[in-house]
A and B are shown apart, each in its own frame.
Chain A
């Protein structure tokens, strides 16, 4: 899922950069506020652990093997803020030392793998673990975190106008639906092993404020709205399809010859902007609703 240089255009690189900086910034502030100093070295060690755990090859059969991505594992072991910091360090080291993932795509890679993956896993795991048991919740959290990050990654590639959504979605989504299965299995097994040997390590995280939950949710939702929503509406057939084809051909030519392609299908562009705006408003509305519900329920519980 590491996007190289040259695959994202300026607007996508900038947008993902801002989102990633926001995520890392918030995570660092939370870590400084809540993490006791004696746990600070654990961030670096946990990052090294994730890095090394990614190199363990789990045999799948037919000569192939799967390996851990680690977002869900980090989130459940460390809590959301610390997981974002540790995974962020891993992504940056991979970019600087192993040239895994490009510099202009660093924002996108950080957002997809260091923010979306752990936060999604944590948002899925936290409520589900009370209802359906720890193991199932871990598995679901790991799977959905991988798949959502992959689909957002596909959206970023498509938004950059390099690869069409209808090609990149099935490719990324399909492969990562399978990778997600491996991730779910491995994460469940590893957490099981830790819970059997040292259960207290899983209980050591600082309590999390409701405001933080909403903030993290909003950040991931913003990613969904920006990178997935514009494509999620099915494209009308016929005329629209032809226009899209022409649009792509225009774009292909523009990348080499035209100075700046401002005129390329203006109707399509504003329509996309409209969709994004509608999406942002919708997300905000949902979150206001969710927040109000949480507050009401919380107050009732406190009274009882």
Chain B
């Protein structure tokens, strides 16, 4: 996994990046809640929201291809569920409305997360009085996600370089061993992290 993918453009210096984090989150939430939950939305409003998001994206100086790629990655599940609606009476309307709504909301969230470093989002969660245990868990998850992903791909490389095309059952067993080892190493790492945290004066509040 490429860690660049996530916080790649979140530290640029555009007007959108410079907005205060709290107000950015609130604005994105209001927009998403409005678009997704309002029962009768006129198409003009969808158009206006789309234009606003497009303008903000251009202002943010993030390459459009990057934003588009993130949008496309998230789209397949929305498409497959929305396609089910085609099999019922009046399905086309529901299909189009659902797809438009989900795409607009996705664009808003991608814009928010692409222009805000994840650590700022965590700080905002902390200010919103989310319990410390949970924010700590999120922070550790974010910090060690890439470490464990690297560890996993190293183990995969090691296995591939030592074994030839095997039977599928063997592959499953080998992959399961990799996953098991990954957990064992993660729990060992957790113990060392606790020792390091304590040595630096960390206390559970």
Interface residues of A (CB under 8 A from B): 2-10, 13, 24, 28, 31-32, 37-49, 51-53, 55-56, 58-59, 61, 68, 77, 85-86, 88-90, 92-93, 95-100, 102-104, 157, 162-164, 167-168, 171, 185-186, 189-194, 196-198, 201, 245, 248-249, 251-261
B133 touches A (CB below 8 Å): yes
Q: Is the CB of B94 within 8 A of A255?
A: yes
State the CA gap A113–B180 with chains docked (Å). 21
B139 to chain A, nearest CB (A): 7
B106-132, CB < 8 A from A = 106, 109-110, 113, 118, 121, 131
Question: Residue B182 contacts which of A49, A162, A168 (CB distance < 8 angstroms)?
Answer: A49
Given A10-B37, A40-B194: A46 in contact with B183 (beta carbons within 8 A):
yes
Given A49-B183, A55-B152, A59-B168: A31 in contact with B74 (beta carbons within 8 A):
no
Which residue in chain B gives the minimum CB-CB distance to A86? B137
Stretch of B11-19, B47-55, B56-64, B140-148 on the interface side:
B140-148
Q: Is the CB of A28 within 8 A of B131?
A: yes
Judged by DSSP, the binding face of A is helix
Q: Is the CB of B73 within 8 A of A98?
A: yes
With a 10 A CB-CB cut-off, give which of A3, A31, A190, A257 has the most chain B CB atoms: A190
Q: How many residues of B contact A (CB 8 A)?
A: 85
List of B residues within 8 angstroms of A198 by Cβ: 184
Q: Is the CB of A190 within 8 A of B179?
A: yes
Q: Is the CB of A100 within 8 A of B84?
A: no
Q: 9 A-B residue contacts at CB 8 Å? A: A4-B74, A4-B81, A7-B98, A10-B37, A44-B190, A99-B110, A103-B32, A162-B94, A252-B94
Interface residues of B (CB under 8 A from A): 1, 6, 28-29, 32-33, 35-37, 39-43, 70, 73-74, 77-78, 81-82, 84-85, 87-91, 93-94, 97-102, 104-106, 109-110, 113, 118, 121, 131, 133-134, 136-145, 147-149, 151-152, 168, 171-173, 175-184, 186-187, 189-191, 193-194, 197, 204
Q: Is the CB of B113 within 8 A of A99?
A: yes
List of A residues within 8 angstroms of B28 by Cβ: 103
Q: Is the CB of B94 within 8 A of A93?
A: no
Given A171-B84, A193-B177, A252-B94: A98 in contact with B74 (beta carbons within 8 A):
yes
